[in-house]
Amino acid sequence: MLKPGFSLTKQKNFDRLIGTVGGGLVGLSILAFIHNQTILFALIVFFMIGTYTFVLLNYIVMVTFLTPYILILFHFLGLGAANIASERLADTAIASLLAFLASYFLFPHWESGQLQGYMASVLKANIQYLKKLKEHLFGNKISSLDYKLVRKELFVSTANLSSALNRMLSEPKSKQKHRKEIYEFVVLNHVLSSNIASLTSTMANNNKPCSKEVLQPVKRTISNLERNLKLLDNSYIVEPNEKDPMHLMHEISTTDLHLNDQLNFIYKVSEDIGKVTKVIAG
């Protein structure tokens, strides 16, 4: 019942208590109204199958199946179901209390201490996404698989960060650090990735190299994100800027003007991310 993290321990114990109480009521009701041994045997098989079916799928459902299974089993052994139910409930309550105290005082593991790692993963994924966009702007053909892989990594890292934030919000308020700024970081990165995805989708069938002027916001955005990443992960090594290919156009076209506006917006979002990151990194 003791999990690696206060919020996980809290959720696990809550599920255990609810499942034990709910399953206990079901088990006692069955034993109170059903006295046919054949039906009870069929029910014990049903609850046993349900227990092992949900053991890895849904903990609260598993406990709900397990409790009546145990009560009916002890009924067959000739022991009082009411006594077994009260003992199980008392044992669960004591174990939950001990797990709660241990996770708070003995082995504290607060999510606020892990969030910077999740934030760094999101920034790395966005940097890789932007680098693919930059290659496309060079006029290089990028396969849909390459885009899907970097996009998948971005979605996974963003989901991990959001889950960690939700876990932190279930912890005591005194242990929550920079909750407002981290929420803002999540939102800004979502805006950033959405705009990058929109651009890559729009330009999917256009492999013409853009002008050097259009490339500047992308390069500045990547530099911004790399500086922010360095604040969160000091081991990150910033790669030197690549030289622009010789075949890039020097004159900006009408299409590039619209593209330039979108890229400048992305750059402004990266600046906002930088402000929030500095506050969080301290």
Q: Does 2 score more than 70 pLDDT? A: no
| Closest by CA position to 112, among listed 179, 159, 190, 157 | 179
Return d(Cα 41, Cα 45) in angstroms, integer: 6
Return d(Cα 188, Cα 182) in angstroms, integer: 10
pLDDT digits (tens, 9 = 90+) for 181-220: 999 999 999 999 988 888 887 776 666 666 677 778 888 9
Which CATH architecture group holds 111-281? Answer: Up-down Bundle (1.20)
Number of CB atoms found within 10 A of residue 267's CB: 19
Q: Does 156 score more than 80 pLDDT? A: yes
Mean pLDDT, rounded, for 32-46: 89
Contact 121, 163 (CB under 8 A): no
Return d(Cα 48, Cα 66) in angstroms, integer: 7
Question: CATH 1.20.58 region(s) of the chain?
Answer: 111-281
Tally: H helices and E strands in the chain? 9, 0
Mean pLDDT, rounded, for 73-99: 75
* The two structure tokens encoding residue 261: 């506006």
**Percentage above 70 pLDDT, the chain:** 81
Q: Does 157 score more than 90 pLDDT? A: yes
Predicted TM-score (pTM) of this structure: 0.71
pLDDT digits (tens, 9 = 90+) for 116-128: 889 999 999 999 9
* The two structure tokens encoding residue 102: 């241990």
Give the list of residues 6+ apart from residue 67 with CB closer than 8 angstroms, or none. Answer: 19, 20, 22, 23, 24, 26, 27, 85, 88
Across 119-133, 136-150, 230-244, the highest mean pLDDT is recorded for: 119-133
211 forms beta bridges with: 249
C-alpha atoms less than 13 angstroms from C-alpha of 128 in its C-beta half-sphere: 17
In whole angstroms, how large is the CA radius of gyration of the chain?
28
pLDDT digits (tens, 9 = 90+) for 252-266: 555 566 778 888 899
| Closest by CA position to 220, among listed 277, 251, 265 | 265
| Closest by CA position to 245, among listed 206, 215, 279 | 215
Q: Does 18 score more than 70 pLDDT? A: yes
